[in-house]
Amino acid sequence: MKIPVPDYILSITPYSPGKPLEELEREYGIADSIKLASNENPLGPSPMAIEAIKNAMLRLNRYPDGSGHDLIRKISDHIGVSPRHIVLGNGSDEIIGMLAFAFLQPGDEAVLPNPSFLMYDIMARGAGAVPVFAPLTSLSIDLDLILERITPKTRIIFLCNPNNPTGTIITNNDFDAFIKEIPEDIIVVMDEAYIEFVRDQNCAVGYEYMDNKTPLVILRTFSKVYGLAGLRIGYGIMPAAIADILNRIRLPFNANSLAQAGACAALEDKGFIEKVVSLIHEGLDFLYDALDRRGIKYFPTQSNFFLIDVRKDADDIYENMLRQGVIVRSMKSYGYPSYIRVNVGLREENVRFLQALEKIMA
């Protein structure tokens, strides 16, 4: 290719998503496979969302509401913040991208925990910024190490609570102390994609720290507990001044009309959410117990996924599980060569996962 490409773009490793079921079945010629690799909702989409989407389909000839009026008002009631603090995204991934695009310039620094969600690294590099990594301590985000990484060039700090891929949380106490140390010219992003699954009462919840002064941005998504990953809808809660900036670069119709309708309905689907959360908690307890009995080491989580130490090359285990029709994630490329990440599925999926793992580890 003759077109020059900035070095910072060439430095990006493309995001590699969990293998889709269809791809596995095509490549391996098998049927009835299960996917426990992308932390998706095993119960399917919110039924109320499906109904709302069917109705909204009849108006697909019209452009979406570019201001996201109804959904933003619903989120505002749900969280208890004013609508001017809310920005919708084509998934919360897009808000990460908008933040990087708006606030990072070549040479700036973004501090990120490592390992964590890969999108922070990809978007920071995409804007020409330098990702500055703060390693985890005992699989948890170490806020002291994050503070140590701050320099005059730091513009954004990304935090993931609970952290993907480790499932650990940031506590209220730790976050209280941390946020007081942050200079006014640095944005702290709290990605709360899995916050609904947290059982630990000491977990920090971002909006409790929103005061329209602290440059804190909270990210939430409809992709996990609401079961709408394929629809692509998420949102950010932030000081109005930051929302104003994001709205300058936001594509006018970034949240499509089916996504807006589905998300509005999903927020009302309280019964479904409760069902999902208890299924995940029961599934976790079931898996913990089964792994304990087999003497397999794992790391308890506050999310709907967790890490298991398979004591062998995680890429090999991943391949072997694929052959048995079970998709998980190898954590080798994340710096954990013998760990896999698995998310909780339906009861029968959890059982199949255990059977496949047992067979491979024997």
Burial 285-306 (b: 16+ CB within 10 A, else e): eebeebbeeeebebeebbbbbb
Pick from 134, 146, 157, 160: which binds ligand PLP (CB under 6 A)?
160
Nearer to ligand PLP among residue 33 and residue 223 (C-beta): 223
How far, in whole angstroms, is CA 264 from its chain's centroid? Answer: 20
Is 301 an interacting residue with respect to ligand PLP (CB under 6 A)? no
Q: Pairing state of beta strands 109-114 and 154-160? A: parallel
Closest to 176 (Cα-Cα) out of 203, 201, 151:
203
- Specify the residue, 45 or 91, whose C-beta has the smaller distance to ligand PLP: 91
Q: Which is nearer to ligand PLP, 234 or 239 (CB)?
A: 234
Amino acid identity of residue 94, one-letter, is E
- Report if residue 223 touches ligand PLP, rule: CB under 6 A: yes
Whole-number Å distance between alpha carbons of 236 and 250: 12
Among 108, 109, 121, 191, binds ligand PLP (CB under 6 A): 191
In the bound state with ligand PLP, the residue whose beta carbon lies nearer, of 215 and 234, is 234
Interaction of residue 93 with ligand PLP, rule CB under 6 A: yes
Segment interacting with ligand PLP, rule: CB under 6 A, options 62-70, 222-230, 267-275, 335-343: 222-230
CA distance 83 to 207: 13
Query: Near ligand PLP by CB under 6 A, which window of 124-132, 195-203, 220-228, 252-260?
Result: 220-228
CB of 150 to ligand PLP, least distance (A): 22
The piece of 73-81, 89-97, 208-216, 309-317 that touches ligand PLP (CB under 6 A) is 89-97
Within 28-67, the residues that bind ligand PLP by CB under 6 A are: 39
- Site membership for ligand PLP, residue 221 (CB under 6 A): yes
Instruction: Choose, by CB under 6 A, the member of 33, 41, 92, 343 that binds ligand PLP.
Output: 92
CB 112 within 8 A of CB 130: no
Nearest distance from C-beta of residue 119 to ligand PLP, angstroms = 7
3-state SS of the chain: helix, strand, coil percent to 5? 45, 15, 40
Interatomic CA distance for residues 331 and 353, integer angstroms: 17
CA nearest to 229, candidates 26, 5, 3, 40:
40
Assess 254 for contact with ligand PLP (CB under 6 A): no
Rounded least distance, CB 228 to ligand PLP, Å:
9
The reply to whether 146 sits near ligand PLP by the rule CB under 6 A is: no
β-sheet bridge partners, residue 112: 133
Note whether 226 binds ligand PLP by CB under 6 A.
no
* Amino acid identity at 263: A
**In the 8-state DSSP scheme, what is residue 175?**
H
Number of residues that bind ligand PLP (CB under 6 A): 14
Return the half-sphere exposure (C-beta side, CA atoms, 13 A cut-off) of residue 157.
28
Instruction: Give the pairing type, strands 234-237 and 216-221.
Output: antiparallel
Residues that bind ligand PLP (CB under 6 A): 39, 91-93, 117, 160, 164, 191, 193, 221, 223-224, 229, 234
